[in-house]
Structure 1
Amino acid sequence: MGKIQELDRQLANKIAAGEVVERPASVVKELVENAIDAGATEITVKVKEAGLVSIGVTDNGSGILEEDIPLAFGRHATSKIHNNHDLFHIRTLGFRGEALASITSVSRVTLKTCADNAVGHLVKIENSDMIEKTLTRAKKGTEVLVEDLFYNTPARLKYVKSLHTELGKITDIMNRFAMSHTHIRFKLESDDKVLLQTTGSGRLNEVMAQVYGMTIARDLIAINGQTGDYEVTGEIARPEHTRANRHYMSLFINGRYIKNFVLTKAILEGYHTLLPIGRYPVVAIDIKMDPGLVDVNVHPTKQEVRLSKEPELMELITRLIKEALLGQSLIPEITVPKKNKVLEKFEQQRFIYEQTSPVQSEDKPVVQEEKPHFPENIASPDVSQDEAQTRPFTVHEEMAVKDEKPVKREAADNETPAVSEPPAEPVNVPVRKLPMMEVVGQVHGTYIIAQNEEGMFMIDQHAAQERIKYEYFRERIGLVEQQVQPLLVPITLSFTRDEALRIEKHRDELAGVGLELESFGGSDYLVQAVPTWFPSHAEETIKDIIEYCLTHQSINLNKFREDTAIMMSCKKSIKANHYLRQEDMARLLEELAYTSEPYTCPHGRPITIKYSTYELEKIFKRVM
């Protein structure tokens, strides 16, 4: 007798369940996906004891026909795939036909379904066997009740975490469904307590208000764009709302929550230097694409996918985020926390009303009109766009740039007007990104205090100059033709033999940032000239740049230039506990105002924090 034998149906289902049903949240995921595929517009999930006692999923979808009920619980039985073409053009969330068979093998399942709004069917399944089937009264749709999960596989219970952890997993999955299918009304109840309830309005920002709270919801920025193959929509939070991990970065492809390292990298590149090191943004991005360009059948959980034309999609996501953030004023505003839970709920309901009402509410808190006095020589913060774009631009200290544009002279009365010349090519005139502010003083030689009619501002002087110098260095490092200046005394650098070999490997990258090394015998190098934009005391900067090369096995030139600009800006900026004169502080703020992203330093730390006049008055109880 041979050694190989076919497994019986029940044992095979239990083995398959090990891949599909890892925990209660896996059951919720599979059943909700079936409800969505059935065209449901209302889905309710009720769990007891984090799903270990029971999980109930009710929907108003198409229901299951009587003749299909036995097949629905068989392995690899599905209505969604009929041939090879369907497998590579998946338009549904479920498609393998394993979910119900796997769930029934490790629990007791009761299913009530109706496909015609007339006669319903009730079936009970235990250990993969149908033990009861009867007619029943039911509304159109399907109701699945899963009880005693893992009752016949006690070893599986050892891997189930605490009830709090398991309920968190279920809540997380339902949050993703709500964000990816905003047109569906979702409701999640745990032990008769409502944890999530959405309206099905189709508005992503409204769902995110339910999931993440009003603080983030009011600071969301919509993105929308497309190419020939992709359409990308979503909501991204302002950069002051960050988290310690990537968990709050939600990516959806054709309604399916997915994980993809390359697309996550594209999101982070969109925020660029606006995020602190080690912090991640809150985003929800939905990608619509031809199903033929994505393979979702590469992992049992169907979260990891394989994409075609990935670079094109990556570039689109990065560009949309950059463009969305570029048009925003990203100064964080300090607000007094609300302690009244009833008031917080009212704020959430008002936010939803504002999203649905065609006319925005004009109700605003009454604030006593008390405006700070400004000297006459301080310009009003209400500067027109034309005025803002024509203000002079200067660069601090060694980065001063000469204005070589000719001065326009008005013709005298007795002069013949000159023949008009063709208009010159448009020039990129710096745009003011920050409001006008009057410098008030300095705290601990570190923070500049400023004010205008909007309120009070605190500016980190080191971070401010880092941003100014970073943008200055970044622009000049990338110049195709570097202007160099000879050094009065050449710099000699000595290295070990191993270091010299690695330097030779990166000679081209070093030249790409304007650093030409000349061999000087053995393991020594000579630097006889540096770019004109190099800061003073160039030797320290050169050593830092070379040290960067020595600590990296491979170097991407663009990233090398970026990191070099950040390093140079950090080392050459004003440090904390450095007291400045009033005019120096004013000049620093003026230069910062004309940078492209004056809100964070190159490492993503905030530069400016705002206390509005209203918030200040609330702090001091001048308004209630």
Structure 2
Amino acid sequence: MGKIHLMDEPLSNKIAAGEVVERPTSVVKELVENAIDAGSRTVEVLLEEAGLSSIQIIDDGAGMGSEDALLSFSRHATSKIENEHDLFRIRTLGFRGEALASIASVSKVTLQTSDGVSGNYVQLEGGRLIEHRAHALRQGTDIKIDQLFFNTPARLKYMKTLQTELGHTIDLMNRIALSYPSIAFKLVHDGKTILQTSGSGEIRRVLADIYGVAIAKKMIPFEGESQDYKISGYTSLPEITRANKNYISLFVNGRWVKHYTIATTVHRAYHTFLPLERQPIAVLNIEGDPYLTDVNVHPAKQQIRLSKEKELLELIYNTIRQAVSSAVRAPVIEEPKPKKPPFAPSKQLDFWKTAAAVNEQKMEVQPTPKPALPVEEQKFAEIEEAETFPEPVVAQEEYSSGHQGIEESPQFPELEVVGQIHGTYIVAQSSDGFYLIDQHAAQERIKYEYFREKVGQADAMERQSLLLPLTFHYSRDEALRLVENLASLSEIGVFLELFGDSSFIVREHPTWFPKGFEQEIIEELIEQVLNGSRADVKKLREEAAIMMSCKRSIKANHHLQKQDMERLLLDLKAAEQPFTCPHGRPVIIHFRTYDVEKMFKRVMN
């Protein structure tokens, strides 16, 4: 007798469940996606003990007839695709036909569904049919999952705390709500409503429901289109940041996906606008022919492969970069809002602390809605009262000491220098308040734009010969890598000549290299090449401009004369982007007259 045999269906379903049903969030994802595919306008998710005890999904979609209600729990049973051709043009969220069979194999399932003609009640336990009968029900589906992993107790050992599991589900529902703003979603945990959206179709309303009105006001809309892709969404002003990329939500044809390269491109569009190690909040919707997207990569359907990815990344970068550049302005310091009294210790507080996508905002005090409007309408009204984003910044054409050929940014205010604080910050005033300017960050921005232009111009490579050449010594393997990248280094002004087996000399350098820092700059640029697998000329030029601007800028605790401060502000006004330094830190902060008067109680409203 042979050693190979066929597994029975219950066993194969349990194995498949290991890939599809990882935690309660996986169950919610599969069932909510089914509800969306069924054309639902409202979807309600009810959880008990973060879903480990009970998960119930109620929708008003198409529902199922008697035959489909039973067949839906069979493995590889699906209504989404019929042949191989459909696999390459998937327009639904589900298509594999594995989810319900996998979920039913590790839980107790109760299904009540109606297609408007007949109602059906189906009960299963561990994948085995317990009962099937007719049942009166409104059109739609009500499916309840009890005692998840009851027959695979080893899986329960790997579950995190209830707070953590709930946090994953909150994060999931937030993203699904952002992807489908025209569907009304409700998430309830142990009788408490955690998320509720109106289904109005307005993404900004959903942003307000998730992150709060204050954040929604500071989200910038964007949209762009290429021959194959269309993108749209919202992204935050540079003053709104988070510590990781989890707040960048990506959707491809309505499907929430995880794509490292796209998320990195969104962050790269904020280059010089964000502080180091900070990330924006963004919602990016990508639409394109399903033929260009392969979603059949993993059973969880969150990993995808894209055709013409380079074209898409370029579209995303240019569109978001333009939107952010046009909207960035000096941060406004407002009177701090009173905080809520501390909560009494409770499990509910722990839930909010661990909810991945909402915990930083739900603890904030929300503005009191006006009595004349319902709460949801008041939220949206407050969003639309946000300040109009300013016109795009005019790009700098030429840098010179007299600023000839430069159009000044229309955003930059007319400032009058008042003085200096601690030899570090310049105080200036205008008709609408006063401003603090970080003198080092301001000159860093000015010098950065100057060096960025110089380092990218072939005709700007005027060289200065050195009386005594600079010598650099490296190991043999490093020397080999440098020899391979001599051309790239020369494009940014580092002219190395091999001197012996593993030494190099520099006989000349561009005249615009910061005086006194020539050797240090050359060493750091060489180090960048050695640390990378290959030289990226564009990146090297950018890093060179940032480094040289930092070296040449005035430092803190350096006292300036008034005419020097005035000259610095004039140069800053002529900059292409005067509000952030090359490292993304703010250059200028605005204190409005009205807010100052409120702090001093000169106005009381």
Q: Shared fold (TM-score greater than 0.5)?
A: yes
What displacement does 1:82 show?
0.4
1:461 aligns with 2:461: no
Deviations 1:424-444 (A, max 9, x none): xxx664435411122222222
- 1:484 counterpart letter in structure 2: E
The question of whether the paired residues in 1 share the 8 Å contact of 2:217 and 2:383 is answered with no
Residue of structure 2 equivalent to 1:542? 522
**Alignment match, 1:106:** 106
Contact between 1:37 and 1:92, CA under 8 Å: does it hold in 2? yes
8 Å contact from structure 1 (residues 484, 529) kept in 2: no
Cα displacement (A) at 1:329: 3.6
Deviations 1:404-458 (CA, angstroms, capped at 9, x unpaired)? x7xxxxxxxxxxxxxxxxxxxxx66443541112222222222222221222222
CA drift of 1:465 comes to 1.0
Residue 240 of structure 2 corresponds to residue 261 of structure 1:
no
Q: 2:415 matched to which residue of 1?
A: 437
* SS of equivalent residue, structure 1 residue 281: coil
> 1:366-445 alignment to 2 at 5 Å?
401=401, 429-445=407-423
- What does 1:48-59 correspond to in 2, within 5 Å? 48-59=48-59
Aligned with 2:488 (options 482, 495, 509): 509
- Whether the aligned pair in 2 keeps the contact of 1:393 and 1:594 (CA below 8 Å) is no
Residues 225 and 231, structure 2, Cα contact 8 Å, conserved in 1: yes
**Equivalent residue number for residue 96 of structure 2:** 96
Q: Could you tell me how far apart the structure 2 residues matched to 1:586 and 1:234 are? A: 40
Taking structure 1 as reference, are residues 389 and 236 closer, same or farther at Cα in structure 2, changes over 3 Å only?
closer
Q: What do residues 206-236 of structure 1 show as CA deviations (whole Å, max 9, x unaligned)? A: 1111111122111011011111211101000
Aligned to 1:310: 309
Q: In the superposition, relative to structure 1, how do residues 529 and 35 fare at CA in structure 2: closer, same or farther (>3 Å)?
A: same
Looking at structure 2, the residues matched to 325 and 14 of structure 1 have their Cα atoms a distance apart, in angstroms, of: 48
Go from structure 1 to structure 2 and tell me whether the alpha carbon gap of 1:288 and 1:450 turns closer, same or farther (over 3 Å shift): same
Match of 1:200 in 2: 199
Distance 1:7 1:502, change over 3 A: closer
Please tell me whether the aligned partners of residues 60 and 142 of structure 1 are also in contact (alpha carbons under 8 angstroms): yes
Structure 2 match to 1:344: 366
Q: CA, structure 1 residues 82+580, in 2 after alignment: closer, same or farther (shift >3 Å)?
A: same
The secondary structure found in structure 2 opposite 1:17 is helix
- The corresponding residue for 1:475 is 453
Q: Structure 2 CA distance, aligned partners of 1:336 and 1:430?
A: 31
The one-letter amino acid paired with 2:424 is T
1:587: which partner in 2? 567
Q: Quick one: which amino acid aligns to residue 585 of structure 1?
A: M
Aligned to 1:30: 30
| Distance change in 2, residues 1:611/1:401 (3 Å) | closer
Residue-by-residue CA offset, 1:26-45 (whole Å, 9 max, x unaligned): 11001000000000010000
Partner of 2:274: 275
Aligned 8 A contact 1:64 1:115 in 2 = yes
Contact 1:48 1:190 in 2 (8 A): yes
Deviation at 1:521, TM superposition (A): 5.2
CA distance change for structure 1 residues 541 and 350 in 2, over 3 Å: closer, same or farther?
farther
Q: Amino acid of the residue matched to residue 27 of structure 1? A: V
Q: Distance in 1 between matches of 2:167 and 2:461?
A: 59
- Paired with 1:389 and 1:181, the residues of 2 have a C-alpha distance of 36
- 8 A contact 2:212–2:366 mirrored in 1: no
Q: Secondary structure at the match of 2:333?
A: coil
How many Å separate the matches in 2 of 1:576 and 1:503?
36
Counterpart in the other structure of 2:354: none
Once the two structures are TM-superposed, the CA of residue 80 in structure 1 deviates from its matched residue by 0.7
Corresponding residue pairs, total: 574
Give the SS at the match of 1:609.
strand
The CA distance in 2 between the partners of 1:576 and 1:351, in whole Å, is: 48
Q: What SS does the corresponding residue of 2:447 show, helix, strand or coil?
A: helix
1:228 corresponds to: 227
**Compared CA separation, residues 519 and 82, structure 1 to 2 (3 A):** closer
Output the CA distance in 2 between the equivalents of 1:393 and 1:307. 36
Identity fraction in percent? 48
User: How many Å separate the matches in 1 of 2:56 and 2:379?
Assistant: 32
Match for residue 4 of structure 2? 4
Matching residue of 2:209: 210
Residue segments in structure 2 that go unaligned for 5+ positions in a row: 341-363
Q: Is the contact made by 2:216 and 2:383 (CA closer than 8 Å) also made in structure 1?
A: no
Whether the aligned pair in 2 keeps the contact of 1:298 and 1:305 (CA below 8 Å) is: yes
- Label 1:183 to 1:453 Cα distance change in 2 as closer, same or farther (>3 A): same
8 Å contact kept, 1:393–1:430: no
CA distance in 2, matches of 1:497, 1:195: 60
Residue identity matched to 1:190 = H
Is the Cα–Cα contact under 8 Å of residues 222 and 323 in structure 2 kept in the other structure?
yes
Matches within 5 A, 1:59-208: 59-116=59-116, 119-208=118-207
CA distance in 2, matches of 1:166, 1:428: 55
**TM-aligned CA distance change 1:501 to 1:444, over 3 Å:** same
Could you say which residue in structure 2 is the equivalent of 1:380? none
Moved more, 523-532 or 293-302: 523-532
Residue number in structure 1 paired with 2:293: 294
C-alpha contact (below 8 Å) 1:433/1:596 kept by paired residues: no
Give 1:276 shift: 1.4
> What residue ranges of structure 1 are gaps of 5+ in the alignment?
364-383, 406-426
Per-residue displacement from partner, 1:381-425 (whole Å, max 9, x unpaired)? Answer: xxx99xx989x9997xxxx5367x7xxxxxxxxxxxxxxxxxxxx
Q: Which is further off, 610-619 or 309-318?
A: 610-619
Change (3 A) 1:438 1:144: same
1:114, CA displacement in angstroms? 0.9
Deviation string, structure 1 residues 506-538 (Cα, Å, up to 9, x no partner): 211121012323445565544343223222223
Q: Name the stretch that deviates more: 135-144 or 284-293.
A: 135-144
Cross-structure match for 1:420: none
CA RMSD of aligned residues (A): 2.8
- TM-score scaled by length of structure 2: 0.89
Aligned-partner Cα distance in 2 for 1:359–1:21: 38
Give the TM-score taking structure 1 as reference length: 0.86
For 2:522, the aligned partner's letter is I
